[in-house]
């Protein structure tokens, strides 16, 4: 449900853990018109673009997710008035209504993220577009920590036949 839900993952993480979800901003960089190894749907976000990379973590410091979002650089401040807060917190504060359009779900391994989470994979991820007033405002790519199994239960992967 966390992967397919159209609600806020930061809000869901807060409800699961019982702790506020906080953001550690890793990077905010102008990338211009570069495709930045982003999902192909990046092409619908007008440029020049800004890339924001964050860790989502509990207030006590447990990393729960890694996220990258790509924004039209000239409009990012319209939606992220406080860049140190989760996207959900910014949008909720402004009462911004959005449509979350899930485009892809992933299960795989990434040694760098697994090490940063302090947990072995596999890792679940997804990417989606946010739409506001009929236009796309950002594409978001999220990877969730295996630590979440402590709250959700173990991941069972059926053998391939």
Indicate the pLDDT class of residue 1, thresholds 50, 70 and 90.
low
Nearest Cα residue to 48 out of 31, 28, 70: 31
Q: pLDDT per residue over 86-105, tens digit each? A: 666 656 665 666 677 889 99
Is cis: bond before 58, omega within 30 of 0? Answer: no
The answer to whether residues 5 and 139 touch, using CB atoms and an 8 Å cutoff, is no
As a dihedral over the C-alpha atoms of residue 61, residue 66, residue 70, residue 75, rounded to 10 degrees, the angle is -20
- Please report the domains of the chain, with CATH numbers, ordered by start residue: 9-152 (3.40.1410.10)
Q: pLDDT per residue over 98-136, tens digit each? A: 677 889 999 999 999 999 999 887 999 999 898 888 889
CA 128 centroid distance within chain: 9
Integer Cα distance of 121 and 22 in angstroms: 23
Whether the pTM exceeds 0.75: the reply is yes
Mean pLDDT value across the chain: 82
In percent, how much of the chain has pLDDT > 90?
A: 37
- Tell the burial category of 82 from Cβ atoms under 10 Å away from its Cβ (0-12, 13-18, 19+): exposed
CA 115 centroid distance within chain: 18
Which residues are within 8 A (CB) of 50 and not within 5 positions of it... i.e. 6 or more apart? 28, 29, 30, 31, 70, 71, 72, 73, 76
Q: pLDDT per residue over 136-148, tens digit each? A: 988 999 998 888 8
Beta strand 21-32 pairing with 49-58: antiparallel
Integer Cα distance of 50 and 32 in angstroms: 7
Q: pLDDT per residue over 41-61, tens digit each? A: 999 999 899 999 999 998 898
Average pLDDT over residues 16-42: 89
What tokens does 60 get?
């006590």
């Amino acid at each position: 449900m966390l992967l397919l839900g159209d609600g806020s993952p930061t809000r869901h993480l807060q409800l699961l853990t019982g702790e506020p979800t906080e953001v550690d901003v890793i990077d905010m960089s102008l990338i211009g018109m570069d495709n930045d190894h982003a999902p192909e749907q990046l092409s619908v976000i007008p440029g020049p673009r800004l890339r924001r990379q964050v860790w989502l973590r509990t207030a006590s410091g447990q990393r729960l997710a890694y996220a990258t979002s790509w924004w039209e650089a000239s409009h990012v401040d319209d939606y992220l008035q406080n860049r140190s807060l989760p996207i959900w917190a910014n949008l909720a504060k402004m009462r911004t209504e959005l449509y979350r359009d899930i485009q892809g779900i992933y299960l795989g391994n990434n040694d760098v993220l697994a090490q940063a989470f302090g947990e072995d994979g596999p890792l679940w991820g997804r990417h989606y577009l946010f739409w506001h007033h009929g236009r796309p405002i950002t594409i978001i790519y999220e990877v969730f920590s295996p630590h979440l199994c402590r709250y959700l239960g173990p991941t069972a992967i059926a053998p391939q036949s």
